[in-house]
Chain A
């Protein structure tokens, strides 16, 4: 861990004022401290925002406003979330461990970085870690890598569970920029695919700080989060699906499907949702949805299994959700 200056911010204004190039904000630290120890991240200045008080979940009309510092545990256990947004509770509970969920925060978890082993390995080139150095994953050993949204520069998978559920729930990320101006950005498009700049992972400008996540009223009452992993618990997703559906008179009137383990960002394809909407559920329809979803996929040795796995998982989840 490179030496750094540590500041504990008393409020948002101070947090913003303390920030300068080379600074990072730290809240739970579960991802940042890990990467700082590896010197994958080498901030000059670490600004502690853990005591800013952004740790409440408040009613917001028919939705919720989740403070950026709400822990994964508290969010998963919130009675309102459990009742009306169970897909979010389930996604959170399927991630990490009890200890990590107690520390990890809503804002921090949205910014969780890839588990690509080459990203974490200073001895190998990585365009995300060191722009322009190359990508060791290509031609290397792939498993927890993306098949959707990849580029010639990066195959890194977004490892989140919570973000996948938020994607299916049309959450809005609220942040203050370095000048203190409040912004709101739909979770769609919040994470950026690698393109030619894998090091740029979100739309957040330098010095911006996530303050909350707005959760609109759920558009579907049939909510499922299902995650496939290499062991029964405490492992990242091979593939996961967050499904939020509503049925009326035997037809799907709302469909929102988001995927983990597949994309360089929490994946959702509006065309897949549109294909399902207005239709009566059937295996033929579900297969068409899988075709559409996976059509742009670029499987490689080591990640090709994700396609049939996703198809089977999607069919099972849709079948369960439309019963």
Chain B
């Protein structure tokens, strides 16, 4: 089946078996292996990409269902103004093996946009006011991205620094 994907602001035409997931389209058909396959079942978050601005698990998305969609992967982050987040991950040692990192980065960007939109989370004390980017909020909202090396302190510190700077919010105990 012929589809077009707009990936990192470049158009790609692909002829795909409808069984191909967005993740495998990136990794096997386009050579964009920055997006990782950790579980292939929506249970780890390593494959997180931004589709039309929202974070999703690329492993559970059929590529043909995203014909025409705008997709941002880790390879496109530098151009989208996220290089400060990438630098913060390095500075705070927000990764060890690095395999979950592309998903963490994309997830963080999607998550910060959700906070900007005022979405509450499971740990928001109230559903009403605009959420504040506390450490607990970051931790809950990033819990869809497993890190077995367990760099959560570094990840949260990096996101806090990047998100806090952009939003004027603070994290109470970033490392």
Contacts and interface: CB of A to CB of B under 8 A. Distances in A.
Direct contact between A and B in the complex (CB less than 8 angstroms)?
Answer: yes
Interface of A: 1, 3-6, 8, 26, 29-30, 33-34, 37, 46, 48, 50, 73, 76-77, 82-83, 86, 89-90, 93-94, 96-100, 102-103, 232-234
A268 to B, nearest CB: 23
Contacts of A26: 62, 65
Contacts of A102: 54-56, 110
11 contacts: A26-B65, A73-B114, A76-B119, A90-B122, A93-B124, A97-B45, A97-B143, A98-B55, A98-B111, A103-B61, A234-B143
Contacts of A48: 62, 64-65
Contact of B140 (A6, A37, A50, A233): A233
B65 A98 contact: no
A6 B64 contact: yes
Q: How large is the interface on B (under 10, 10 to 19, 20 to 34, 35 or more residues)?
A: 35 or more
B56 A99 contact: yes
A30 B127 contact: no
Interface in B134-167: 139-145
Given A33-B60, A50-B65, 6 more contacts: A1-B19, A37-B41, A48-B62, A73-B54, A77-B117, A98-B141
A100 B119 contact: no
B55 to A, nearest CB: 5
B60 A34 contact: yes
Given A33-B62, A77-B118, A83-B128, A98 B144 contact: yes
A26 B110 CA distance: 24
A42 B127 CA distance: 40
A3 B119 CA distance: 38
B38 interface: no
A77 B45 contact: no
